[in-house]
Structures are given as structure tokens and as C-alpha cells.
Structure 1
């Protein structure tokens, strides 16, 4: 069914309303959980949602678009709806007014998203709606209504069939238990919506810690007693009462955070009121990390992780992670969703198959989100069979795209190119500290020195999480080598997205070394088959580390040798503070942030103004987008180690990914403004056969 567009179809996002919501939601004003929203006729009480999950597009040879919408209501709604499934209808049409009127495109088409009740627990009913649409030659806008009620935030955008998606990426969406949140009055979710208003984000990638569940340890008196046991822990069995308390916690914590943006921690309460509104209008692809379960899950000792109490935490967290973040109910047939790449065997502690995710993000971009938590142990991140399944799927997908895919994004929770901290691991695990840890465990002095899970030094689980930790370094090198060879052989540019560390930077691997032949030295990054950028962006909500930590990381950052043809380092990006004068740390910025990745050809006229004085192919130095600099490439081939300026500059091309870090200027300002730091990631020219990747001696 078609109808003419109404006058409000092209209305912008109501940013003034969102600004007022942020002003009302400063920490000092938060008293309790906001009420459910009452929506539609007949009216229903919405506890959480509608939240959109992106599943895939351009699958096979079709122009399809798949997503799902999750809606969680209260059972008391049944008194007014007589047990009927809430109805979601939609309108779809061109997202912007065409220059030339066309009868075929100057209208909206209406329809409905079929839904079904997939799960119910306590006072909640879970409904899932299937979104199956077709991409057109133009970008489309979808407005939807619940029981006939349309709202300004009930909408999302589809890319044109020849377009790649505009991508927003974030991590660490919540506060740690001990964070002092009193000064965090701004909300970067407001800035996300400001950017979305100018250039529509088609997908939002959650890189882990979409929710902070560390307060699970307060969920039941019995679980708390287990944590406080004088020994490392006893072998108490998971009782039905504890299991019920864990389920109750995760269920209601998700409803409060995903539904209202509300959470309570030790030092206060927060209400990220715009987070749910973003989920109403930007489809998401999520992968989980430790805080989606409990701090450090998977990286503690085998003795601790193997206990039934800890396994119970993992099992319960996984259930609600699948419900709220993957819209999948317990015991549902795992083969129904083709975007998943399933592990072959259950994880050792969560005891479910891992679920990595593959998705095509429009014509030229694809992504793989690697499940780095389900199979994790202190000495393993993923099994070899999982890596094989992932690369087998990538082989099929990239080959079937027939050269259309030029960029592959690899989502990993934790940075893979990051300063080494092995020295700190050795100190924290040294027998010399045993007496001090024993005293701290008793609670006599130094109470914050050790964690309450296995009595190790508090920071050790964070260090053990890292790919560069001594237990994971060999696995990390094998994985990076495999990625590098795969990208070179298929002529695609690999970019890694990471979070977790509560600051932002760009790190990388690139061609440079004594074994690089003169005729193999790439003149620009577009010709470099070894170039892999690691975009590290976190946290969008959590408090950043102190300046001393960022300074220590800069001092620990060195030019590493990955192999005899490949170097690894961090790009000097931050010339200035977000507010000048010049700052001392050019490598790491410890302020809240998020990132986006947008092809140059997708930029709006307003965004293109930054590049108006440059021509196609110019090498633009990475840095503040307001201070772009051109670097002149060497006229002849030369030793790659003698041209550091060229290494820090990347070509301005239509298929370059403008990758930006949006860094918060002032946490106490509710206008929530950011400064943009950019790097242009080029597609890879040609296919390459690399040898001796990962070899340091040959």
C-alpha cells in the first residue's frame, strides 16, 4: 500500500528535546528507576525496547535487508490487550527529498513487521518482530509504530543498494562499581544523535560491555557469602535459590539499563536516558565482553572459574545476553540465524557454543565480530576450530562478493595492538607478593590490593585479558598472521575495532623492515598489504583512567617488530588537548569517546568542507580533522624506515574509510560536545601473496 509523504516525513531528529532530557538526567537529579512508557492504543506498558538488531543485507544475490525488533512488555498490559501480540506497522520511503520529483519514489509504502511471543519470565513478555525489507537505488527511511502510535525515535535508515553503511562503534557503556559519577553530566549518546542527524548511521557496533553487570555480586546473600569466604573460595554447589537470584538480577538489570538507561553503583546513580532512544533508531550488532557477565570472567585461575558458582554466573549472563542483545530465547534452534558462526564445542565455563557474527554492511564493507569470551580461559581466547570456522566463512563470503567487498572490519573486545605489560604480570604473579596478598585477603590491610574472586592482585585479570599478555601472545601472533595473509590474498583492507581500555588511539601493523625488498616497499598505504589499523575506542560512558596511566602507556609504547617485514606501533594522533594548549601525550587520549567509520564518498556536503582544499589521492596526515595536513610522498623508492611522516599519512580516495574518534571536550557540560580526530583507511590496491608472515627469523 502506498501513500503520499506527509509534511513531517523529512523532519530532523528532535535534538532540543534530547538536550533537555540530558539536562534533567544529571546524576544529582536521579532518584529511582524511571517508569515504564505507556504506548499505543490499546495501551501497553513497555519495560524495554523497541530495540533494533541488524542481521544482514545483500545476502546471496538478493538486495535484501534483515533485522529484528525486540519489545519487552509487562504482563499487566494483557488486561488491556486481551493477550494479543502488540502490532508494529511501518512506513518506508526515500530518506531525503529528491532533486527531481518522481511518482515512483515520492511516496511511502506501508506494511507490518510480523511478531511473536518468544519468551516470558516474571512479569515480562518478550516479543520479537521480523524485519525483511528491500534495498533500493536510494537511501530509505523507516518509521514504525507500536499499536498505531508513531514516535520521533521510532525510525531507522537503510542504505542505498550501491552504498556502504555509515558505521558507529562504541564500547564500555556503563560505570564501574567504584566510579565517581558526580561530574559526568554530559552524555556522548547526545553527540551520537547529533552526528546521526547530519549523516545517518545505518548500524551501530557494540564492541563489548554494552551493560555493566559487576553488581551481580550483591544479587543474593548466599552468593555474597561465597565471595567473602576466607579461603580462595569453597566448592559450594550452585543452589536453586542462588540460580534464581542470578536470573532475577540479570533480567531486571537489563530491563533497567536497556529499557531506561538506569543503573545504580556504589557511589551514586546514573540515567543515560538517550541510550535506549539510540537503540530505537540505530540497528545494532553486539558482541559481549567480561562486564556483560562479571568483571574479568574467563581470566581468573582454572580453580576459580571451574567452580559451579562461577559457572552459574556465566550461564545466567549468557542467557540474558542472548535474549536482550541477540533477540533469541533459551533453547531456540541455533541454526535459525545464518549470521552466526557457531563454535564446535561448548565453552569451558559458560558451557555454550561460542557465537561469532558475520554481516555484510552494504556493498563494500563486511564485518566479523569474534566471540572472544565464551571459550576464554586464562591461557586461551578462542579454540583453533573456531578460528577455522571463522576463516572458512570469510572465504565463502568474500569470494562470493566477486570483488565488491573492499573493507573487512574485525570486532575484538580487547585491543590486539597495544603496549606490552608482561613485566607487570610477572610482578603481580610473583611468589614474593604471596604474604602481602594473604594479608589483604584477610582484610587486615591493603583491602583493595586483591580481587574477591581468586585472591589475585586486582589488576591482574585486566592484564590477562589482553592479546599481548604472555599467555595469549602466541595465539595472538597466529591470528594476526592469518588475518594479514587473508586480506592480502583477497585484496581487502582489514581494520580491527577494539574497546575495553577506557581511552582511545589508533595502533597499527605496516610494511617496514630490513627484509622488505626495494621493489616491495609501498609508496602509500593503499599499496601496503600488511597495513592493519586497530581502532581503539572506549569508553562511551565509563570514567577514563587518570593521566598517569595514559603517560605510562605512552612510555611503554615502542616500535615493535611483528616480523622481519612488519612493524607495529601507535600512531601519533593527538597533537593538542581537546582544548589547547599542546599536550604531551600524542598517542593516547584518556577522555570518553566513540568512533565512526564512513566512506569518503558517503560524506555529506557539510563534512566534505574539511577536504575542499585537497585533491583525490593526497596523503592526509592523521590528526584533528580541523587541522588537516598534506604530506608529500617520496619521489623515489627509499628505505621505509626513513619516511615516518609518510607512515602517518593516508590517501584521500572515494573508497577510503574516514575513521574518526569523537572525544569528549567537557564531561560537566550537558551540551556533550566532542572534537574529531581522523585517519583515512584506504582500500587495498590489488592482491598480494605474502611470505614469512609472523616469522622473526628467516
Structure 2
């Protein structure tokens, strides 16, 4: 197996592989905007990183001939000749949907020319925009670039929704013993599961890379070491510092995205990503406003945004980023976006994108600390699942997550698209940070209270309790994480309004909303639902929204005591008079302990009383419960033995109505019954047939032991019913 340690990647020396040719003149700076003007002496495609494959969107939904759209990215040495990509269909996935119907499997090979997105004297980025037709069967497509090993990805059948893998926190916090945690071992489990039943898309929920080391062993260390907060706040972000940070972020991406087995998955499973703070730096956006406006924060925000667009979205970056010694970048253009700096463009080429991919929802104005516009996503994932991902970092401050006008753009887009796609039964919404989660306001109050002031003074003067306070604004280090949460007191109103808008969207379009969240380094399942007093079955409850919390796939989990504390705080909260929320008690046992004798069992991860939070690395799988077109009754009957008639094709089995005093931390519908290791969805490999024709199966794959470099996991499952809003309305129940 490949070494898990990120391989050393020295900076590229163009002189070793390239030769100069004539430079152009632009904006008074030699070679500005024209690229490094060098050519490769090898005449070959010298790849530094990749290939990375992304899913973008599907067109022709609702027609007989829809099309899958995606992109592939490679990073090369500068001066590399323009590469091409060849693509052809290998036929049906063995054992996949429609595998017996492959009469139209002969697809001719097609070739795509690479488009250069960016080039400077150290590297070049090439994008291949690809598209393939959906077939009557689940198809294998193979692509090849130059001398790179061919890669195969899977596209669902025309009648099939995509099988989703969801992950977050794919990196290590500063100071973590990477070897003790077996590196990114869980990606081995992802690849094993993919080999048995392929994933069609992997959704990155943020922190796909950890760039925090820039302040520890990178160019921001001298800045971090300044003790005076005012001097640190006013420290300039010069062009020289920008170049150093640019090189650090690039090399960190090359190192991490080239580390197996993560790098292997990057070429086989199409990605769909939204970023979070560690993609920039820990806590970005959640420190005090005056400090977030410091030149260094504005500068690294721009540099991180540049490589986020290139590596994670395959999109050309802005031509320049903020520096304090370039007036145009400080003042920006008429819209507030960073202006063009001729010095930054010296020997550099940046593609001017003529149009955005239709999946993007671009914010109307720049963020307060990153002078660029937010980039949220809406697309359809096959036949019956839609996806929306909110960019909750560009516009974030300590007191807001997204602008009101951005929410309006996003909800207007989703509503319009759902109106045009009546076959969609589920909306999967990515927020990055959990939203149905235990309250920690009591801890916020303690950390923000006057009792902390004497400790802060001792820290400032003598360094006492150094681990408690962050190096940026001097506040308690944990506060930026708490301020990130939707459940933080300052986000309370925004959170409530967001849930209400989702409820209205669900009700209007009769679509079930399921929310993805990461960030917190443990696994859990939160749910919103109608107060039991209203006697509304979950299958007909537009307020029922599960929050699938999967984090981290690579970073180490919090201590057992933290997870147990969160579980003890798992109360039944009331969002309003009609809506309750709580975590589902899904963890019936710790992973791996049932397969060992007592003396040989893995160490316990949770207290016996904790069935709601799991401090162990994990990722999630989301898949349809049924084969396309299959009508199957649930294998689980309601607790009272009755089976209600199916309505509108949405549910083949409807649970009994909740008792008014039901313990909603336990199952509230048939798909949640026996949630955990005994649930039919726990394996993540077999469709359960639960929750009606259009139900979803959800699996949390949880690491058994961090010492296992193969990353073996145990599964915990539950199922999500589609929404039968019409059936509920016909019963005359009050909404």
C-alpha cells in the first residue's frame, strides 16, 4: 500500500525543463498577462498533480436524452504542450442497473482539447470540459490523458439517481501525529466500497485540505509570533509576502492532492465541493470584524480562494489578489472586487472565463474579507435527487453567514429548478456546518464572560494558559469554532429563518430536504420534525429534515469526554411552536466491538449512555432505497402492526402517527426503526426497500481503529422517506 505520509514536493525550477522564448509587453510590465513564455524541452506533458475529475451538472433533464457534464484537471510544469483527453464508454457496470440491456454500449471514442486556466513560471493548470450521454444502463467511462494511467468513472443509468459519498475535514490539524492516525486511511475504505458498488459523485463538505500550517512553519510564522495585537493587525501583506503564501498554498495542495489513497479517489469519483475555514485558515470569518479586516487575513483569503477555484472547481481564478503595496487591489473595482495588478501578472497567464457553468449561483457582491463573490451550487444528481451547496465562507462574519440577498438568489434558483423537474423527490442541501446540533451557548457564555479576563491578562504578560487562546485576536481559541455554528447565539435568527424557508420549499414542491454537515469531527444524525402534538407521520411531514453529520474523514476526532458531553446536551429543542429538533440515537454500540472477545476488542469510543455522537473518523453514503421503477413494501411494519395504504406512489409503507409524548431521540418512523448496526442500510451496499418507492438509505461508515492503515469501518444505517405532502393535505391535517 502507498505511504500515507504526504510526499515532499520541491518547488518547480523551470530552468530544469524549459527554455525561454520571446516575451510580450502588456501594461508596461514585460510578459504581464501573457504567461511565462517558456516551452518544455521534453515535449511531453509533465504532470505535477492529477487527474482530478469533477461533476458539474446534467442537462436535458426530463427529456429522453439527458447529458452528464463534468471536467478533468491536471497541473503540469510550465511550457507543457497543450494536452488532450480521450474518452470512451466501456459498457455497463457489471451487476449495475440495466446491465442486461447493453445493446447500445458501443460509444465511439471522443477527444477533448485541454484549456489552459492559469500559468506562471512554476506551473500550469489545464481543464478538460467533458460530457457524456446517460444510457439505459449504469455505464463505465474511461478517460486517458497523455501517458497517465487511464481512469474509469461511473455514470448512473437514465432511470437512476446518483449514489453519493459525502465527506468533510479531509486533513490534519496543526501538531497532529499523522502517523499515529495512519494518515488518510479511510480513503482505502471508500475505494473498497466503490469497487463493490460504485459512487457516482463524492461531495466535499469543506476542509478538503488543511492550510493552517501557513502560520506555524510557513510564511506567516513571523506575523503569528508578533505579540502586540495592534501590530499584528496592521502588519502589511506585501507582494513579497503574497508570493510566499502563494507558493505555500500551491505546494500544500500538490502534496495533499498527490497523497494516496485520496489521490486515487480523485481520479475515479467525480467531485462536487464547497469550502470551509481550513481551506483558508482555521476560523477564517469568525474572528472579530476589525481583526478580520487586517491585511494579512484579506491577503491569505485571496490566495486560498485562487487555489480553491483551481483545484476544487476547475475554474480560472481572479487575475490578482489583495496586497497592501498595490493600490488597485486595495481599492478594488466599481463592484468591490480586487483590481488587476500588473506586477502580479508578470510572466503569468490567467484565462478570462466567458461564462460560468450553469450549476453556479454567484453572489451579488463581494464578501467582507475575501473581495470576491460567493459561489454556491445547484445541480441535479440523476433522476430524482437535486443538490444545493451553500458557500458559507465568503460572506461570513462573526454575526452573519450569508447575505439576505444571497439567500434569496439561492432559494429562487432552487424553487425555479424544482418547478421544472417534477420527478425530483429529494433535495440534498450542503451547509458544511451542522444545523440540527446540541446547543453550546452555556459554554459560549463562560468563554466570553469576565471570569476569563484575568486568565487572558496572565496569558498576555506571562504566557500562562497559552493553549487556551488563539494567536490571532487573543480570544479563547474555541470561540471561533463555536461562532461558526448555526446554533451560536448570534446566528440564532438566521438559522431559524433558513429552516423556515426550507420548510416552505419542501411544502411547496413536495420534496424531502436532507441536510449535510461536517466540521465537528464526529458523526451524528440530527433531525427537525413536527411537534408530536400535531400527530403528523414523518412521511407526510414537510418539517422532517434529517441533518447527516459526517466528520472527519481524516482529521482526528475530539476526546471521548467532549462527545459524551454533547450527547448529554442532546435535548429535545423547540425551534418554534410547530417544529422540534434532536439527535437520533443511532449508535447502538461502538464500532468493531461486537466482533471481538472482550480482551481483544477495540478501545471504547463513547460512554454506555452515549448513543448520539460518535468520536471516530467517518464518511457517509446516500443511495436510493429501491431499484429504479421497483415498487417494494417496507420490510419493517409499524410498531402497532398496521400498514397504511400508499399514496401518490411516494410511500409504500406509512408509519403510525407519533404518540404526543413520544421520545423523539428514538425512532419516529419506520426508516429509523433499529437505526444503527442492525439496520438494513448499515452495510451501505444493498438497497433496503424501506421508506417507500422513493426513499433514501443513509449509511455512516465509522472507523474501527485508527491504528489500522486499511481503514476498516463499521456501518450505521437509517432510511429517509420521500415526502407525500399531497397525501397529508388530503387527510385534512393542519399544516
Answering whether residue 624 of structure 2 is matched by residue 599 of structure 1, we say: yes
Deviations 1:350-403 (A, max 9, x none): 0111110111100100100001000000000001000000000001100001x2
Answering whether residue 445 of structure 2 is matched by residue 448 of structure 1, we say: no
CA contact (8 A) 1:165 1:365 kept: yes
Q: Distance in 1 between matches of 2:250 and 2:656?
A: 62
CA contact (8 A) 1:512 1:641 kept: no
Deviations 1:29-66 (A, max 9, x none): x7745999x9xx97432111110111001345550111
For residue 181 of structure 1, what is the aligned residue in structure 2? 178
Corresponding residue SS for 1:522: coil
Which of 84, 91, 95 is 1:94 aligned to?
91
For residue 69 of structure 1, what is the aligned residue in structure 2? 72
Answering whether residue 364 of structure 2 is matched by residue 344 of structure 1, we say: yes
Deviations 1:244-269 (A, max 9, x none): 111111111111111x12xxxxxxxx
Corresponding residue SS for 1:526: helix
For residue 526 of structure 1, what is the aligned residue in structure 2? 539
Which of 559, 566, 578 is 1:553 aligned to?
566
Q: Distance in 2 between matches of 1:343 and 1:229?
A: 35
Change in Cα spacing, 1:684 to 1:34, as seen in structure 2 (3 Å) is farther
Deviations 1:379-435 (A, max 9, x none): 00001000000000001100001x200000000111001111111111111233223
5 Å-filtered alignment, 1:170-569, equals 170-185=167-182, 187-218=185-216, 223-234=220-231, 235-258=234-257, 260-261=258-259, 273-331=260-318, 332-333=352-353, 335-401=355-421, 403-514=422-533, 516=534, 521-523=535-537, 525-569=538-582
Q: Please list every run of 5 or more consecutive structure 1 residues that lacks an aligned counterpart in the other structure.
A: 1-19, 262-272, 622-631, 691-697
Change in Cα spacing, 1:227 to 1:446, as seen in structure 2 (3 Å) is same
CA contact (8 A) 1:489 1:687 kept: no
Deviations 1:272-299 (A, max 9, x none): x110110101000000000000000000
5 Å-filtered alignment, 1:50-61, equals 50-59=51-60, 61=63
Answering whether residue 693 of structure 2 is matched by residue 654 of structure 1, we say: yes
CA contact (8 A) 2:503 2:542 kept: yes
CA contact (8 A) 2:92 2:105 kept: no
Q: Distance in 2 between matches of 1:635 and 1:51?
A: 47
CA contact (8 A) 2:276 2:432 kept: yes
Deviation, structure 1 residue 565: 1.8
CA contact (8 A) 1:440 1:448 kept: no
Q: Distance in 1 between matches of 2:102 and 2:203?
A: 36
TM-score (norm 1): 0.83
Corresponding residue SS for 2:581: strand
CA contact (8 A) 1:63 1:161 kept: yes
Change in Cα spacing, 1:102 to 1:572, as seen in structure 2 (3 Å) is closer
CA contact (8 A) 2:9 2:254 kept: no
Deviation, structure 1 residue 230: 2.4
Corresponding residue SS for 1:351: coil
Deviations 1:516-539 (A, max 9, x none): 2xxxx233x212221000000010
Deviation, structure 1 residue 580: 2.9
Q: Distance in 2 between matches of 1:369 and 1:207?
A: 9
Deviations 1:447-496 (A, max 9, x none): 11100000000101000000000110110000011101111121000000
Q: Distance in 1 between matches of 2:211 and 2:68?
A: 32
Deviation, structure 1 residue 97: 5.3
Corresponding residue SS for 2:171: coil
Which of 148, 151, 156 is 1:159 aligned to?
156
Corresponding residue SS for 2:142: strand
Answering whether residue 585 of structure 2 is matched by residue 572 of structure 1, we say: yes
Q: Please list every run of 5 or more consecutive structure 2 residues that lacks an aligned counterpart in the other structure.
A: 18-41, 319-351, 595-606, 641-652, 672-689, 730-734
Change in Cα spacing, 1:319 to 1:689, as seen in structure 2 (3 Å) is farther
Corresponding residue SS for 1:427: helix
Moved more, 49-58 or 452-461: 49-58
Deviations 1:198-242 (A, max 9, x none): 111000000000000001114655x33332222223212221111
5 Å-filtered alignment, 1:661-680, equals 661-680=700-719
Answering whether residue 48 of structure 2 is matched by residue 47 of structure 1, we say: yes
Change in Cα spacing, 1:475 to 1:59, as seen in structure 2 (3 Å) is farther
Deviation, structure 1 residue 160: 1.0
Q: Distance in 1 between matches of 2:245 and 2:589?
A: 46
Corresponding residue SS for 1:375: coil
Q: Distance in 2 between matches of 1:550 and 1:57?
A: 40
RMSD over aligned Cα atoms: 2.9
CA contact (8 A) 1:172 1:208 kept: yes
Moved more, 452-461 or 178-187: 178-187
Change in Cα spacing, 1:72 to 1:677, as seen in structure 2 (3 Å) is same
For residue 660 of structure 2, what is the aligned residue in structure 1? 639
Change in Cα spacing, 1:434 to 1:646, as seen in structure 2 (3 Å) is closer
Change in Cα spacing, 1:686 to 1:444, as seen in structure 2 (3 Å) is closer
CA contact (8 A) 2:93 2:99 kept: no
Q: Distance in 2 between matches of 1:509 and 1:445?
A: 43
Change in Cα spacing, 1:580 to 1:103, as seen in structure 2 (3 Å) is closer
Deviation, structure 1 residue 601: 1.8
Q: Distance in 2 between matches of 1:42 and 1:281?
A: 27
CA contact (8 A) 1:595 1:659 kept: yes
Deviations 1:164-206 (A, max 9, x none): 0000000000000022233222711011011111111000000
Corresponding residue SS for 2:614: coil
CA contact (8 A) 1:143 1:150 kept: no
